Amino acid sequence: MMPTLTGRNTRTITGYVITLLDYPRYVIEREVDFTDCHLKGDFDEHDSQCTSCLFGEACCWLNLNRTPPRPDASLTELLQALSTAVKYIRSTRQDESPHPGHCECDRCQWLHEAMGFLRTRRHRA
């Protein structure tokens, strides 16, 4: 056990994930359409309209991540939020025209970074 080293690493990784979560928050806030929402975007997991909603997953995410996570948020929570965000960003990327493998748009760049990070975490676990 090396508490000092572990603590420092965790803080750094946590800070990094918190930074990574800025982009999907911005995108989801801009893209999810609450015009027809009977709850005005206030996600309710027990509401059948919410669970079957086209924006349900993104809306649920946004309700959990509308404000930046506290610096003391657990890494597990942050990684969960990050992988859900990756799923959303991936699923919506094809909306416009297909992106080439080396695409340099914000979405692809973010996905590349976030997925690369999640992959390194998985190998370590």
Specify the stretch interacting with Zn ion by CB under 5 A; choose among 7-15, 36-44, 79-87, 97-105.
97-105
Nearer CB in complex with Zn ion: 53/85: 85
Query: Does the protein bind Zn ion through residue 108 (CB under 5 A)?
Result: yes
Specify the stretch interacting with Zn ion by CB under 5 A; choose among 13-21, 48-56, 58-66, 104-112.
104-112
Name the minimum Å distance from CB 76 to Zn ion: 29
Q: Could you tell me which of 36, 24, 33, 31 has the C-alpha nearest to residue 78?
A: 24
Residue 58 CA neighbour count, 13 Å, CB half: 21
Q: How far apart are CA 5 and CA 70, in angstroms?
A: 21
Work out the angle at residue 61's Cα, subtended by the Cα atoms of residues 117 and 52, and round it to the nearest 5 degrees.
125
Specify the stretch interacting with Zn ion by CB under 5 A; choose among 1-9, 18-26, 57-65, 107-115.
107-115
Query: Does the protein bind Zn ion through residue 99 (CB under 5 A)?
Result: yes
Contact between 2 and 63 under an 8 Å Cβ cutoff? The reply is no
Residue 99: phi, psi to the nearest 5?
Answer: -100, 135
Query: Does the protein bind Zn ion through residue 115 (CB under 5 A)?
Result: no
Query: Does the protein bind Zn ion through residue 105 (CB under 5 A)?
Result: yes
Which spans of this chain sit near Zn ion (rule: CB under 5 A)? 99, 103, 105, 108
